[in-house]
């Protein structure tokens, strides 16, 4: 059968778009196409599981607006549908005088973004919240939480598909081409073809390649960065109550290594951020010739490397040294020892990288014929997913002439 809409990509943004679109347009026949055997198998299912507050993002940006709105929606969704979550709060802590001015900027950002309940706290109050942290002060962020993003993704898709019997989900279908004629658009997959009137691409790590398959003229490229985690041993778990973040370095495009209590009770420390030689490679030595060639023949990658040379070298050294990773953790919790941590999992983040090495920080959408492409949806996209899904439906109404 021919579908009204095909959504390509079964991470949380794709599932949230399916959910929001099916709710607003219950008569539409929508198909969700995902190349893996299950949903949320890449960025969504391998991130740190944090419900972000909206503290870090430039006021007025899509990230800021969607993060705060999406957080409220996500927590309400989790409560209604019994998704494992806990709005437990976090502390952002400064350990050096040089971090105080940037901490104040983050706090002012949070106020501008309506991040409710945040307050500047002194070292004594930090200790009351997280007894093993040594700091000179911090920010208490009570609206931050943790959630099972895989579970949320699966529930969004399940609810959407239950609304319309003609809608469907096709797992294990990798999109290899798009064919257009005046009458129809055919999505060619490794398991046959799917016809649809309109297409929405939520491809994450493959967003740029899918855009090019669809005929979008795109200068930027997606470059992958792996993040490795350590876990606290059972004997050390008491040293972290909930979530502990450092003050991020404004010159570095990631938030820094932090401590996260997960919904399953594990406590993770990480992630670092190292260039990965395989976009969907979770092992330290994973390698793809295609992905490596793609990244290293792109001038934006080299600009990013040169602009962040010291950070990059430090991150790589830490990726292969438990001792150096521990040293980073000890900046915040000095009592941690080598025996307190053991290697955990890894995730990969997609960065849409401009030719000048700029990491294209905000969410980015591209419109092409009968398609909408989500080209850039880095953190906090999982937190913001329901708001992003709603925005995509709004854009679809305009771009596809539904209203």
Contact 60, 158 (CB under 8 A): no
Tens digit of each residue's pLDDT (9 = 90 or more) over 15-56: 999 999 999 999 999 999 999 999 999 999 999 999 999 999
Write out the two tokens for 225: 């960065």
Exposed / middle / buried, residue 264 (Cβ in 10 Å: 0-12, 13-18, 19+): exposed
Write out the two tokens for 41: 């198998």
In sequence order, what E strands does 95-214 have? Answer: 119-121, 137-141, 145-147, 168-171, 175-180, 185-189, 192-201
Q: What percent of the chain has pLDDT over 70?
A: 100
- Of 23, 8, 38, 42, nearest in space to 381 by CA: 42
How many Å apart are CA 373 and CA 200, to the nearest integer? 6
pLDDT of res. 358? 86
Three-state DSSP at 242 gives coil
Residue written as token pair 């309940």: 117
Give the residue ranges of the chain where pLDDT is below 50. Answer: none
pTM listed for this prediction:
0.96
pLDDT of res. 253? 67
- Of 41, 319, 344, nearest in space to 206 by CA: 41
pLDDT of res. 315? 87
Where does 123-221 have alpha helices with state H?
A: 123-129, 149-163, 207-213
Residue 335: how many other CB atoms lie within 10 Å: 11
Q: Which domains does the chain have, with CATH numbers?
A: 2-45+150-219+361-399 (3.50.50.60), 90-142 (no CATH), 221-240+250-359 (3.30.9)
pLDDT of res. 309? 84
How many Å apart are CA 134 and CA 126, to the nearest integer? 8
């Amino acid at each position: 059968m021919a579908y009204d809409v095909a959504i390509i990509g079964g991470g949380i943004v794709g599932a949230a778009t399916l959910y929001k679109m099916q709710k607003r347009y219950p008569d539409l026949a929508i198909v969700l196409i995902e190349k893996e055997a299950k949903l949320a198998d890449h960025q969504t299912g391998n991130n740190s599981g944090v419900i972000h507050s909206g503290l870090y993002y430039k006021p007025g940006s899509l990230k800021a607006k969607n993060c705060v709105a999406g957080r409220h929606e996500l927590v309400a969704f989790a409560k209604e549908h019994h998704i494992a979550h806990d709005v437990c709060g976090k502390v952002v802590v400064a350990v050096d005088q040089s971090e105080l001015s940037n901490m104040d900027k983050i706090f002012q950002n949070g106020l501008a973004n309506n991040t409710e309940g945040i307050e500047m706290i002194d070292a004594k109050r930090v200790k009351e919240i997280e007894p093993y942290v040594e700091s000179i002060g911090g920010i208490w962020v009570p609206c931050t939480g943790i959630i099972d993003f895989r579970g949320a993704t699966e529930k969004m898709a399940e609810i959407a598909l239950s609304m319309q019997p003609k809608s469907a989900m096709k797992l294990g279908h990798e999109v290899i081409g798009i064919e257009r004629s005046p009458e129809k658009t055919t999505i060619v997959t490794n398991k046959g073809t799917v016809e649809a009137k309109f297409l929405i691409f939520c491809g994450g790590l493959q967003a740029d390649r899918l855009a090019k398959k669809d005929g979008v003229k795109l200068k930027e490229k997606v470059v992958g960065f792996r993040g490795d985690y350590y876990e606290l041993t059972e004997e050390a778990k008491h040293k972290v109550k909930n979530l502990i973040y450092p003050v991020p370095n404004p010159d570095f495009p990631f938030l820094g290594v932090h401590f996260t209590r997960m919904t399953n009770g594990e406590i993770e420390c990480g992630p670092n951020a190292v260039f990965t030689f395989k976009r969907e490679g979770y092992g330290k030595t994973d390698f793809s010739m295609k992905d490596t060639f793609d990244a290293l023949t792109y001038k934006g990658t080299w600009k990013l490397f040169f602009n962040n040379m010291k950070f990059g070298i430090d991150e790589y050294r830490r990726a292969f040294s438990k001792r150096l990773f521990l040293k980073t953790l000890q900046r915040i919790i000095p009592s941690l020892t080598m025996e307190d941590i053991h290697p955990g999992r890894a995730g990969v983040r997609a960065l849409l990288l401009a030719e000048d090495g700029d990491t294209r920080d905000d969410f980015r959408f591209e419109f092409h014929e009968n398609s909408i492409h989500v080209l850039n949806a880095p953190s906090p996209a999982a937190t913001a997913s329901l708001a992003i899904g709603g925005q995509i439906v709004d854009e679809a109404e305009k771009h596809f002439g539904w209203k």
